Amino acid sequence: MSITVAIPTLNRPGDMAAFMPTLAKQTLLPDQFIVVDAGDPSELQAVMKEMLGHTGIELVYLRSERGLCTQRNVALDHATGDIIFFFDDDVELEPTYIEKIMECFAMEMTPPVGCVQGTLIDPPGTIGGWKSKVYRSFGLTHWTHEQDPALYTAGGVRFLTDPKSIIAVPVAQGCRMAFRAEVFEKERFVQFLPGYCQNEDVDITFRVSQNWTILQTPHAKLLHKESPVQRIQYPAQLGQQIYAHYYFFTRYREKTPVNVAHYAWSHSGLMVMALGRAIIKAQPEVLGGIKDGYKRCIDDLVSA
Protein backbone atom coordinates (compact mmCIF):
# COMPACT_ATOMS: atom_id res chain seq x y z
CA MET A 1 0.00 0.00 0.00
CA SER A 2 1.22 3.49 -0.79
CA ILE A 3 1.82 5.91 2.08
CA THR A 4 1.25 9.64 2.52
CA VAL A 5 2.53 11.58 5.55
CA ALA A 6 0.80 14.93 6.12
CA ILE A 7 1.62 17.71 8.57
CA PRO A 8 -0.12 21.06 9.09
CA THR A 9 2.33 23.64 10.38
CA LEU A 10 2.31 27.22 11.65
CA ASN A 11 5.53 29.15 12.30
CA ARG A 12 7.53 26.21 13.65
CA PRO A 13 10.47 25.81 11.24
CA GLY A 14 12.71 24.60 14.07
CA ASP A 15 10.31 21.83 15.03
CA MET A 16 9.87 20.82 11.39
CA ALA A 17 13.65 20.69 10.97
CA ALA A 18 13.84 18.33 13.96
CA PHE A 19 11.09 16.10 12.54
CA MET A 20 12.56 15.73 9.06
CA PRO A 21 15.56 13.47 9.90
CA THR A 22 13.26 11.11 11.81
CA LEU A 23 11.08 10.80 8.70
CA ALA A 24 14.05 10.30 6.39
CA LYS A 25 15.40 7.47 8.61
CA GLN A 26 12.21 5.40 8.61
CA THR A 27 12.69 1.70 7.85
CA LEU A 28 9.63 2.02 5.61
CA LEU A 29 9.63 5.33 3.78
CA PRO A 30 6.43 7.09 2.70
CA ASP A 31 5.79 7.73 -0.97
CA GLN A 32 4.52 11.27 -0.39
CA PHE A 33 5.10 13.96 2.24
CA ILE A 34 2.58 16.82 2.33
CA VAL A 35 3.23 19.97 4.36
CA VAL A 36 0.40 22.50 4.63
CA ASP A 37 1.95 25.74 5.84
CA ALA A 38 -0.21 28.55 7.26
CA GLY A 39 2.70 30.45 8.78
CA ASP A 40 4.78 33.42 7.79
CA PRO A 41 6.94 33.20 4.66
CA SER A 42 10.17 31.30 5.37
CA GLU A 43 12.78 29.00 3.85
CA LEU A 44 10.93 25.92 5.11
CA GLN A 45 10.17 24.49 1.68
CA ALA A 46 13.79 24.71 0.54
CA VAL A 47 15.07 23.19 3.79
CA MET A 48 12.68 20.25 3.58
CA LYS A 49 13.46 19.64 -0.08
CA GLU A 50 17.16 19.49 0.70
CA MET A 51 16.67 17.13 3.66
CA LEU A 52 14.53 14.74 1.61
CA GLY A 53 16.62 14.92 -1.53
CA HIS A 54 18.22 11.48 -1.20
CA THR A 55 15.14 9.61 0.02
CA GLY A 56 12.95 9.55 -3.10
CA ILE A 57 9.98 10.85 -1.08
CA GLU A 58 7.76 13.20 -3.07
CA LEU A 59 7.47 16.56 -1.29
CA VAL A 60 4.20 18.46 -1.72
CA TYR A 61 4.41 21.91 -0.12
CA LEU A 62 1.13 23.82 0.11
CA ARG A 63 0.07 27.18 1.51
CA SER A 64 -3.23 27.53 3.35
CA GLU A 65 -5.23 29.78 5.63
CA ARG A 66 -4.86 29.05 9.32
CA GLY A 67 -6.91 26.30 10.93
CA LEU A 68 -5.79 22.84 12.01
CA CYS A 69 -8.72 21.01 10.42
CA THR A 70 -8.72 23.28 7.38
CA GLN A 71 -5.05 22.51 6.76
CA ARG A 72 -5.62 18.77 7.18
CA ASN A 73 -8.47 18.88 4.67
CA VAL A 74 -6.19 20.68 2.22
CA ALA A 75 -3.72 17.80 2.65
CA LEU A 76 -6.49 15.27 2.00
CA ASP A 77 -7.31 16.99 -1.28
CA HIS A 78 -3.76 16.28 -2.48
CA ALA A 79 -3.00 12.94 -0.78
CA THR A 80 -2.36 9.95 -3.04
CA GLY A 81 -1.54 7.30 -0.43
CA ASP A 82 -3.65 4.28 0.49
CA ILE A 83 -2.70 5.06 4.10
CA ILE A 84 -2.50 8.67 5.32
CA PHE A 85 -0.45 9.54 8.41
CA PHE A 86 -1.20 12.80 10.22
CA PHE A 87 1.37 14.15 12.67
CA ASP A 88 1.78 17.41 14.54
CA ASP A 89 4.81 19.43 13.50
CA ASP A 90 6.46 19.00 16.92
CA VAL A 91 6.85 15.21 16.94
CA GLU A 92 9.86 12.97 16.34
CA LEU A 93 9.51 9.36 15.21
CA GLU A 94 11.40 6.22 16.16
CA PRO A 95 12.89 4.58 13.02
CA THR A 96 10.33 1.75 12.78
CA TYR A 97 7.25 3.91 13.44
CA ILE A 98 5.67 3.79 9.99
CA GLU A 99 6.55 0.12 9.48
CA LYS A 100 4.86 -0.92 12.75
CA ILE A 101 1.74 1.14 12.05
CA MET A 102 1.41 -0.43 8.61
CA GLU A 103 1.52 -3.90 10.18
CA CYS A 104 -1.62 -2.98 12.13
CA PHE A 105 -3.50 -2.05 8.98
CA ALA A 106 -2.83 -5.59 7.70
CA MET A 107 -4.61 -7.15 10.70
CA GLU A 108 -7.98 -8.77 10.08
CA MET A 109 -10.58 -7.15 12.34
CA THR A 110 -14.35 -6.71 12.37
CA PRO A 111 -15.02 -3.98 11.38
CA PRO A 112 -11.81 -3.50 9.36
CA VAL A 113 -8.97 -1.37 10.72
CA GLY A 114 -9.54 2.20 9.61
CA CYS A 115 -7.28 4.13 11.99
CA VAL A 116 -4.12 3.37 13.99
CA GLN A 117 -2.17 5.40 16.50
CA GLY A 118 1.27 4.83 17.97
CA THR A 119 2.33 5.27 21.59
CA LEU A 120 3.99 8.35 23.05
CA ILE A 121 7.46 7.98 24.51
CA ASP A 122 6.85 10.65 27.15
CA PRO A 123 3.08 11.09 27.63
CA PRO A 124 1.93 14.33 29.26
CA GLY A 125 -0.65 15.12 31.88
CA THR A 126 -2.09 13.32 34.86
CA ILE A 127 -1.12 9.63 34.83
CA GLY A 128 -1.45 8.59 38.44
CA GLY A 129 -2.21 9.81 41.93
CA TRP A 130 -5.08 11.94 43.17
CA LYS A 131 -5.25 14.15 40.07
CA SER A 132 -5.87 11.16 37.83
CA LYS A 133 -8.65 9.98 40.14
CA VAL A 134 -10.28 13.41 40.05
CA TYR A 135 -10.11 13.60 36.26
CA ARG A 136 -11.52 10.08 35.95
CA SER A 137 -14.34 10.76 38.41
CA PHE A 138 -15.49 13.76 36.34
CA GLY A 139 -14.99 12.04 32.97
CA LEU A 140 -12.24 14.43 31.86
CA THR A 141 -9.26 13.68 29.64
CA HIS A 142 -6.31 12.07 31.38
CA TRP A 143 -3.74 9.29 30.95
CA THR A 144 -3.49 5.84 32.48
CA HIS A 145 -1.12 2.85 32.54
CA GLU A 146 -4.09 0.52 32.87
CA GLN A 147 -5.46 -1.41 29.90
CA ASP A 148 -8.81 0.40 29.90
CA PRO A 149 -9.09 3.18 27.32
CA ALA A 150 -12.39 5.04 27.41
CA LEU A 151 -14.38 7.80 25.78
CA TYR A 152 -16.53 9.64 28.30
CA THR A 153 -20.00 11.07 27.68
CA ALA A 154 -18.87 14.65 26.99
CA GLY A 155 -15.88 13.68 24.85
CA GLY A 156 -13.19 13.43 27.50
CA VAL A 157 -10.76 10.58 26.84
CA ARG A 158 -8.79 8.13 28.96
CA PHE A 159 -5.63 7.60 26.88
CA LEU A 160 -3.30 4.61 27.33
CA THR A 161 0.32 5.45 28.09
CA ASP A 162 1.83 1.97 27.83
CA PRO A 163 -0.34 -0.71 26.18
CA LYS A 164 1.08 -4.20 26.60
CA SER A 165 -0.10 -5.30 23.16
CA ILE A 166 -1.99 -3.98 20.15
CA ILE A 167 -5.38 -2.93 21.50
CA ALA A 168 -8.63 -1.46 20.20
CA VAL A 169 -9.27 2.09 21.42
CA PRO A 170 -12.37 4.29 21.11
CA VAL A 171 -10.67 7.33 19.52
CA ALA A 172 -7.20 8.48 18.45
CA GLN A 173 -5.06 11.53 19.22
CA GLY A 174 -4.35 14.12 16.54
CA CYS A 175 -0.57 14.19 16.84
CA ARG A 176 -0.25 10.48 15.94
CA MET A 177 -3.19 9.20 13.89
CA ALA A 178 -3.04 7.28 10.60
CA PHE A 179 -6.06 6.45 8.45
CA ARG A 180 -7.02 4.19 5.60
CA ALA A 181 -7.76 6.57 2.71
CA GLU A 182 -11.21 4.96 2.23
CA VAL A 183 -12.25 6.55 5.54
CA PHE A 184 -12.29 9.95 3.88
CA GLU A 185 -14.75 8.97 1.21
CA LYS A 186 -17.41 9.87 3.79
CA GLU A 187 -15.58 11.92 6.42
CA ARG A 188 -13.69 15.21 6.67
CA PHE A 189 -12.20 17.19 9.55
CA VAL A 190 -14.59 19.80 10.98
CA GLN A 191 -13.14 23.18 11.98
CA PHE A 192 -15.69 23.88 14.72
CA LEU A 193 -13.28 26.09 16.68
CA PRO A 194 -10.88 28.71 15.32
CA GLY A 195 -7.18 27.97 15.05
CA TYR A 196 -6.14 25.23 17.45
CA CYS A 197 -9.62 23.60 17.53
CA GLN A 198 -9.29 21.42 20.62
CA ASN A 199 -10.84 17.92 20.53
CA GLU A 200 -11.08 17.95 16.74
CA ASP A 201 -9.28 14.59 16.83
CA VAL A 202 -11.96 13.11 19.09
CA ASP A 203 -14.61 14.43 16.72
CA ILE A 204 -13.17 12.86 13.55
CA THR A 205 -12.06 9.56 15.08
CA PHE A 206 -15.35 9.05 16.92
CA ARG A 207 -17.14 9.33 13.58
CA VAL A 208 -14.62 6.93 12.03
CA SER A 209 -15.15 4.45 14.89
CA GLN A 210 -18.79 3.98 13.90
CA ASN A 211 -17.68 2.01 10.83
CA TRP A 212 -14.04 1.06 11.43
CA THR A 213 -11.80 -0.37 14.17
CA ILE A 214 -9.24 1.98 15.74
CA LEU A 215 -6.06 0.41 17.13
CA GLN A 216 -3.16 1.55 19.28
CA THR A 217 0.16 -0.25 19.06
CA PRO A 218 2.99 -0.19 21.62
CA HIS A 219 5.47 -1.09 18.88
CA ALA A 220 5.33 2.30 17.11
CA LYS A 221 6.79 5.02 19.33
CA LEU A 222 7.09 8.79 18.89
CA LEU A 223 8.00 11.81 20.97
CA HIS A 224 5.53 14.68 21.15
CA LYS A 225 7.46 17.69 22.39
CA GLU A 226 4.43 20.02 22.55
CA SER A 227 6.22 23.08 21.23
CA PRO A 228 5.34 26.33 23.05
CA VAL A 229 5.26 28.22 19.72
CA GLN A 230 1.72 29.32 18.83
CA ARG A 231 0.15 27.33 21.69
CA ILE A 232 -2.87 28.93 23.32
CA GLN A 233 -2.78 29.79 27.01
CA TYR A 234 -4.86 27.98 29.62
CA PRO A 235 -7.80 30.46 29.78
CA ALA A 236 -8.35 30.19 26.02
CA GLN A 237 -7.79 26.43 26.19
CA LEU A 238 -10.43 26.17 28.91
CA GLY A 239 -12.94 28.09 26.81
CA GLN A 240 -12.27 25.68 23.94
CA GLN A 241 -12.70 22.68 26.23
CA ILE A 242 -16.08 23.93 27.42
CA TYR A 243 -17.35 24.38 23.88
CA ALA A 244 -15.72 21.19 22.54
CA HIS A 245 -17.51 19.12 25.20
CA TYR A 246 -20.78 20.86 24.37
CA TYR A 247 -20.20 20.31 20.64
CA PHE A 248 -19.50 16.59 21.10
CA PHE A 249 -22.40 15.95 23.44
CA THR A 250 -25.04 17.82 21.43
CA ARG A 251 -24.09 16.14 18.16
CA TYR A 252 -23.26 12.58 19.12
CA ARG A 253 -24.92 11.62 22.41
CA GLU A 254 -28.50 10.59 23.03
CA LYS A 255 -30.08 13.07 25.45
CA THR A 256 -31.16 10.57 28.08
CA PRO A 257 -31.41 11.73 31.71
CA VAL A 258 -28.31 9.67 32.56
CA ASN A 259 -26.27 11.16 29.72
CA VAL A 260 -27.39 14.70 30.54
CA ALA A 261 -26.37 14.12 34.15
CA HIS A 262 -22.95 12.81 33.09
CA TYR A 263 -22.48 15.81 30.80
CA ALA A 264 -23.40 18.27 33.57
CA TRP A 265 -21.10 16.41 35.98
CA SER A 266 -18.15 16.69 33.60
CA HIS A 267 -18.71 20.44 33.31
CA SER A 268 -18.84 20.80 37.06
CA GLY A 269 -15.45 19.07 37.11
CA LEU A 270 -14.06 21.53 34.59
CA MET A 271 -15.31 24.38 36.78
CA VAL A 272 -13.81 22.89 39.96
CA MET A 273 -10.41 22.47 38.30
CA ALA A 274 -10.55 25.89 36.63
CA LEU A 275 -11.64 27.87 39.69
CA GLY A 276 -9.10 26.03 41.82
CA ARG A 277 -6.38 27.07 39.40
CA ALA A 278 -7.65 30.65 39.28
CA ILE A 279 -7.44 30.88 43.07
CA ILE A 280 -4.25 28.93 43.74
CA LYS A 281 -2.26 30.47 40.89
CA ALA A 282 -3.94 33.89 41.11
CA GLN A 283 -5.13 33.81 37.50
CA PRO A 284 -8.36 35.83 37.29
CA GLU A 285 -8.14 35.62 33.49
CA VAL A 286 -9.39 32.03 33.84
CA LEU A 287 -12.84 33.53 34.45
CA GLY A 288 -12.65 35.09 31.00
CA GLY A 289 -11.98 31.65 29.52
CA ILE A 290 -15.08 30.28 31.26
CA LYS A 291 -17.15 33.19 29.97
CA ASP A 292 -15.91 32.77 26.40
CA GLY A 293 -16.58 29.03 26.44
CA TYR A 294 -20.17 29.29 27.61
CA LYS A 295 -20.81 32.24 25.30
CA ARG A 296 -19.90 29.98 22.37
CA CYS A 297 -22.32 27.35 23.68
CA ILE A 298 -25.16 29.89 24.02
CA ASP A 299 -24.46 31.34 20.57
CA ASP A 300 -24.62 27.83 19.13
CA LEU A 301 -27.95 27.15 20.85
CA VAL A 302 -29.42 30.43 19.61
CA SER A 303 -28.36 29.81 16.01
CA ALA A 304 -29.55 26.17 15.98
Q: Tell whether 246 is covered by a domain.
A: yes
Domain match, 39 and 69 both: yes
Would you place residue 228 in the very low, low, confident or very high pLDDT band (cuts 50, 70, 90)? low
Q: Tell whether 147 is covered by a domain.
A: no
Domain match, 72 and 177 both: yes
pLDDT in tens, 165-207: 999 999 999 999 999 999 999 999 999 988 778 899 999 999 9
Q: Tell whether 36 is covered by a domain.
A: yes
Name, of 9-23, 106-120, 289-303, the range with top average pLDDT: 106-120
Domain match, 113 and 41 both: yes
Q: Where are the alpha helices (DSSP H) in the chain?
A: 13-24, 44-52, 68-78, 97-105, 129-138, 200-209, 234-252, 257-280, 285-303
Burial annotation 279-300 (CB, 10 A radius, 16+ → b, else e): eeeebeebeebbebbeebbeee
Burial annotation 30-45 (CB, 10 A radius, 16+ → b, else e): bbbbbbbbbbeeeebe
For residue 87, pLDDT beyond 90: yes
Domain match, 178 and 43 both: yes
Domain match, 16 and 165 both: yes
Q: Tell whether 134 is covered by a domain.
A: no
Domain boundary among 224, 243, 267: 224
Domain boundary among 170, 204, 224: 224
Nearest Cα to Cα of residue 273 among 298, 242, 230? 242
Q: pTM here?
A: 0.94
Gap between the Cα atoms of 66 and 57, Å rounded: 26
Domain match, 189 and 290 both: no
For residue 5, pLDDT beyond 90: yes
Domain match, 58 and 206 both: yes
> Domain containing 104 — which CATH number?
3.90.550.10
Q: Which domain holds residue 274?
A: 234-303
Domain boundary among 224, 247, 265: 224
Gap between the Cα atoms of 187 and 199, Å rounded: 16
Domain match, 200 and 251 both: no
pLDDT of 229 reads 65
Nearest Cα to Cα of residue 155 among 293, 287, 251, 261? 251
pLDDT in tens, 118-176: 999 988 765 667 788 889 999 999 998 888 999 999 999 999 998 999 999 999 999 99
Domain match, 178 and 99 both: yes
Q: Tell whether 60 is covered by a domain.
A: yes
Q: Tell whether 156 is covered by a domain.
A: no
Domain count, the chain: 2
Domain match, 217 and 244 both: no
Q: Tell whether 277 is covered by a domain.
A: yes
Q: Tell whether 211 is covered by a domain.
A: yes
Domain match, 245 and 168 both: no
Instruction: Provide, rounded to the nearest whole percent, the portion of the chain with pLDDT above 70.
Output: 97
Domain match, 43 and 78 both: yes
